[in-house]
Structures are given as C-alpha cells and as structure tokens.
C-alpha cells in the first residue's frame, strides 16, 4: 500500500505531506509520560497563541481555511484537525487519551500546528488516495453508523472502498480507525505553503522517533511534495 496524491490536488494546493508507514507496533500500552507530553504542549499552545487575535490568524491555520474555501467547505463550520486541537487547548480542555499512536500524533499536531491523522492499514483496500471526491463514495464517520457521502469536488482521503477522511483532514472514518489492536498503520502530516518542507521533515522524524520509542515498530518515512 502507498499514498497517491491526485495531480489536480498537487497543482492546486502544492501540499507537503509527511508519510510514516508503521509495521508491527505494540499499541496496547498506556504510558503516563505521553499524558505529560500532551499537558505540556497544551500549555505551550496557550502561551504561543497569545500573540494572535484568534487561531485563524496563525499562518498555517489560515492556509487551511483558504484551502477549505477553495473546495467548498466553510472553514467556520468545518475546521482542519490542527485548528480543532488548538481551540480545545486554548479552552483548557484536557485532550482525551485514545491510544498510544493517536496520542502521539495529537502531540505532534499541537506542537507543530499541523494536521496529523492515522489509519489502520489492515483495513485499507488498495492504495490510500488524496483526491477530489466523486460524490458517491461511502463514508461512515468515527463512532458513527450512517453513510455520509462527501460532496463532489471535496478533497478527501479514500481507498478502493470509500472515503477514509472527509474534507482533507476534518473527520476520519470508523472503518479504518486505529485502536489498541492496531499493529500496522499509516500516519500522515499535512502541510500547505507557507509551511516549509524542512519543518514537515522535522515533525515526521520526531513522530517516528516517538512511535519507535513507545511502540517498538518498524518505521519507514517519506516526504511527498511538488516543491
């Protein structure tokens, strides 16, 4: 399995995507140290965002808001995953502990203000694709039961069976979610200009190191970009 980015997405948005392939992870442990990392980065977010009137003024978040507008999603109603996490931290909400892999990528997402998401590759059919939706793909959101297909032209992650994440990185699917039983996964770090490739590389390598430390997995990384 590999990640394929539709040429039209590359030409329009010039994304920079850090990709991490994880094999043989032990995702069953509950590590208190990871909770401490999440608490610390939440405090750092509160301190660093005092310079902005609102999260929407941050250059990285502003770029995602513009992208959402371009493919027809109101950024006031639908927010990229990084903005959603930042807003929770600013409200003083304690991030829920999900499992080791998810907790670690949430930590990296907050630290670098970049959307990060992960999927259980054993549940993916064919290759993972970042593409414009046709509009009839199946999508059942995380913890949901009803089909909520995307609109035609919406940017989505999908496989041969249906949509895995709607509105690029807004909401993930129930079918491919990572659980404590997940051993094999793909984790992606999404970025748009003006984010620099070097920052995405740094975030990807830090996440790889953390996953190796706490899950003992075999890891391969790559950076996909047109720049």
Rounded mean pLDDT of 184-205?
Answer: 98
Tell me the pLDDT tens digit for each residue of 51-110: 776 899 999 999 999 999 999 999 999 999 999 999 999 999 888 899 999 999 999 999
The pLDDT of residue 170:
97
The pLDDT of residue 38:
97
Rounded mean pLDDT of 34-62?
Answer: 91
What does DSSP assign to residue 50?
A: G
* Cα 168 to the center of its chain, rounded Å: 9
The pLDDT of residue 226:
77
Alpha helices in 130-169 (DSSP H): none
Cα–Cα distance between 194 and 136 in angstroms, integer?
33
Residue 159 · residue 127 · CB < 8 Å: yes
pLDDT at 220 over 70: yes
With cut-offs at 50, 70 and 90, classify the pLDDT of residue 30.
confident
- Residue 95's nearest CA partner among 144, 48, 37 is 37
The pLDDT of residue 49:
87
Long-range contact list for 87-94, CB < 8 A, 24+ apart?
87/55, 89/41, 89/42, 89/45, 89/46, 90/45, 90/46, 90/49, 90/55, 92/46, 94/39, 94/42
Edge-to-edge strand list for the sheet holding 16-23: 116-120, 185-191, 16-23, 218-225
Q: Which CATH number fits domain 13-130+181-225: 2.30.42, 2.40.170, 3.50.40, 1.10.3470?
A: 3.50.40
The pLDDT of residue 227:
63
Tell me the pLDDT tens digit for each residue of 114-172: 999 999 999 999 999 999 999 999 999 999 999 999 999 999 999 999 999 999 999 99
Residue 195 · residue 58 · CB < 8 Å: no
Cα–Cα distance between 86 and 94 in angstroms, integer?
11
Alpha helices in 76-226 (DSSP H): 81-90, 100-112, 197-215
Rounded to two decimals, the pTM is: 0.96
Percent above pLDDT 90 for the chain: 92
The pLDDT of residue 96:
86
The pLDDT of residue 95:
87
């Amino acid at each position: 399995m590999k990640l394929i980015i539709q040429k039209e997405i590359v030409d329009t948005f010039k994304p920079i995507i850090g990709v991490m392939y994880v094999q043989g992870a032990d995702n069953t442990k509950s590590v208190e140290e990871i909770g401490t990392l999440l608490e610390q980065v939440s405090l750092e977010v509160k301190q660093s965002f005092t310079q902005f009137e609102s999260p929407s003024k941050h250059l990285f978040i502003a770029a995602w808001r513009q992208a959402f507008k371009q493919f027809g999603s109101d950024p006031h109603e639908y927010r990229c995953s990084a903005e959603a996490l930042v807003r929770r931290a600013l409200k003083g909400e304690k991030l829920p502990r999900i499992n080791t892999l998810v907790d670690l990528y949430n930590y990296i997402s907050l630290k670098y203000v970049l959307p990060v998401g992960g999927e259980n590759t054993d549940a993916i059919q064919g290759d993972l694709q970042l593409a414009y939706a046709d509009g009839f793909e199946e999508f059942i959101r995380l913890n949901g039961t009803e089909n909520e297909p995307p609109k035609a032209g919406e940017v989505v992650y999908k496989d041969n069976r249906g949509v895995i994440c709607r509105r690029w990185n807004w909401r993930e699917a129930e079918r491919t979610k990572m659980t404590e039983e997940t051993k094999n996964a793909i984790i992606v770090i999404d970025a748009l200009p003006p984010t620099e490739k070097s920052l995405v590389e740094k975030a990807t390598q830090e996440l790889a190191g953390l996953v190796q430390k706490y899950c003992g997995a075999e890891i391969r990384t790559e950076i996909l970009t047109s720049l």
